[in-house]
Amino acid sequence: MKLETFKSILLVLLIGLSLLLTFGLWNYKSDFEQLETGKNYASEVSVGGKEERRNNLIAPSSIIFHINDEHFGYKDPQQEETFFQDMQSWVMTDFTIRESSSRGIKDYDIEVIFPDALPIEIASSLFSFANIDEIKANWSFDRIYLKLEEDTSTISIFFPSIDKRRLATASLNVAVTYNGLEDLLASRKGLTEYLLFDKGNRDINDDDIYVRNNTNGLEKRSLIVSKISPDLFVEVLFPDPTLISRSDKGNMNSGEYYYADSTREMRIRQKETKLEFYNPNSTENASGDIGPIELIDLSISRINSHKGWFDDYKLYELNTTNKSVTYQMQYNGYPVHNTNGLTFIETEYEGQDIYRYSRSLLSLGREVQTEQVAVPSGAKIIAHLMDNLDDTVDIKDIENIQLGYDFQYQEDNSVILEPAWFMQVNGVWQKILF
């Protein structure tokens, strides 16, 4: 064979091999798509949910109307959200902050109660004030009081501090709003009775606890539930998914496994229903202090970046000590509780960097069955607690009592929401066994 012919054949073979290698590279896909270096990867990955705004996530846990020494709340708790949205549209005037020596508000008609303390600075973004754009103060409130002033047909609004030592006040001079609230208090239309839970020997800083009395018509609900793929969160939470090792899911009968790179770990727990992510390296990069409003906005922005909101969630706890924010699932206006944390989303930060991210991987679908159930009245629950608390719970340690749903996950990819009573003892919610 001539040398030139051999060279030609060799060249053809090399070109063919090159084409095969190129085709193979084009069609090769690793377990995780590699992300560009320095890319803001979280903002470009969606896990299939939606984005939320701060004003939709912050809402009262209850709104109480005080009428002639009796207490009432909305029969349909979804009306509380409508009332609060109306409040956010009010344009309040005469906003002032002063020291308070009265140790609390004594005379009021409506009480708006939040699940946790909020910084007073956030009031300027939750509500509209005619005379201010920004509030500069560093104390917190967890209740707002409204007083209908008959002589002037105005509404006085009070924001007392947690320690009752400071007070912000504002006014609303809108006849339509005043008349609407006056008619509501007079007619009690759409309202139901609430009872005051008297713990006895109250501390001066103890807040009142109100318990809904009428529980007729409550329904146990069965819903389809879908799982959010953990693999989607790999691209959200790891800078370079190609560097991740993971356990063999096929050998994990418990349904628990993990993903990890050299510094981060994401554990999937409880049969792929809960995610727990840790980034210990964030403590080395922590710098600067972070305020409560910035902390809330950082948590919302982080979850928005991958469209991580499913179902209806509301702010549950703002912990400025460990820099964490927790949101709780709601259904039809009721809080949803689960002992395994399947109804919470929590983020914790070191500086601007996320340290821990814990959340449910379940998304509620359509209802498939409803059934009316008997739930003890508020009066029976109060009597039960007075008579049956054991040595592990002191009645003085009860911080709140509420009606909600007990979230019961079923392995056939469904969930039962059962109406039940819950009490908060030293910051922890537990179901009341009646």
What are phi and psi for residue 176, nearest 5 degrees? Answer: -60, -45
Distance of alpha carbon 236 from alpha carbon 43, whole angstroms: 8
Beta bridge partners of 350: 353
pLDDT at position 287 is: 58
Sort 189 into a burial class: Cβ within 10 Å, 0-12 / 13-18 / 19+: exposed
Say whether 234 sits in a helix, a strand or coil. helix
Residues 6+ apart with CB under 8 A from 341: 274, 358, 360
pTM: 0.87
Q: Kindly indicate the confidence band of residue 134, based on its pLDDT and cuts at 50, 70 and 90.
A: confident
Domain coordinates of the chain in residue numbers? Answer: 44-53+223-361, 77-189, 367-431
The kind and range of the H/E element at 7 are helix 3-27
| Alpha-carbon gap, residue 72 to 211, rounded angstroms | 10
Query: Given 3-state DSSP classes, what are the helix, strand and coil percentages for the chain, each rounded to the nearest 5?
Result: 25, 40, 35
Q: 105 phi and psi, to 5 degrees?
A: -85, 130
Per-residue pLDDT tens for 295-318? 999 999 999 999 999 999 999 999
Residues in the chain: 434
Provide CB contacts within 8 A for 181, sequence distance 6+. 109, 110, 146, 148, 155
Cα separation, 80 vs 277, whole angstroms: 34
Q: What's the whole-number mean pLDDT along residues 205-225?
A: 92
Torsion of CA 76, 389, 425, 105, to 10 degrees: 70
d(CA 247, CA 267): 10
Query: Other CB atoms closer than 10 Å to residue 164's CB: what's the count?
Result: 15
Pairing of β 334-337 and β 398-410: parallel
Nearest to 380 by CA among 223, 106, 195, 157: 195
- What is the homologous superfamily of the domain 44-53+223-361 according to CATH? YycH protein, domain 2 (3.30.310.160)
Q: For residue range 142-171, what is the model confidence (pLDDT) as tens digits? A: 999 999 999 999 999 999 999 999 999 999
- 195 — phi, psi (to 5°)? -110, 145
Q: List the alpha helices (DSSP H) in 255-326.
A: 282-285, 292-304
Does 139 have pLDDT greater than 60? yes
Which residues, listed in sequence order, are joined to residue 268 by a DSSP beta bridge? 257, 275
Q: By percentage, how much of the chain surpasses pLDDT 70? A: 84
414, 368 Cβ separation under 8 angstroms:
yes
Q: How far apart are CA 430 and CA 394, in angstroms?
A: 14
Looking at residue 33, its pLDDT comes to 38
> Which contacts (CB < 8 Å, 24+ apart) does range 354-357 have?
354/277, 354/279, 354/282, 354/302, 355/278, 355/279, 355/280, 355/282, 355/283, 355/323, 356/276, 356/277, 356/278, 356/279, 356/324, 357/237, 357/275, 357/276, 357/277, 357/302
| Percent of the chain residues topping a pLDDT of 90 | 69
Question: Residue with structure tokens 């928005």?
Answer: 304
Whether residue 428 contacts residue 317, with contact meaning beta carbons closer than 8 Å, is answered with: no
Q: What is the pLDDT of residues 385-412, one digit of tens each?
A: 988 776 667 888 899 999 999 999 998 9
pLDDT in tens, 329-371: 999 999 999 999 999 999 999 888 899 999 999 999 999 999 9
> How far does CA 33 lie from the centroid of its chain?
31
What number of other Cβ atoms are within 10 A of residue 343's Cβ? 27
Q: Which of 222, 224, 249, 221 is nearest to 362 (CA)?
A: 224
User: Tens of pLDDT along 278-301?
Assistant: 998 876 555 567 889 999 999 999
At residue 246, the pLDDT reads: 85
Q: Hey, what are 90's tokens?
A: 């009010």
Out of 28-32, 182-186, 256-260, 286-290, give the one with best mean pLDDT. Answer: 182-186
- In angstroms, the CA 210 to CA 142 distance is 15
Token reading at 362 = 């379940």
Query: Which pLDDT score is estimated for 181?
Result: 97
The per-type count for the chain, helices as H runs and strands as E runs, is 9, 24
Residue 99 has which token pair?
């020291």
Is 129 within 8 Å of 92 (Cβ atoms)?
yes
Reference 405, options 340, 306, 332, 351; nearest CA is 332
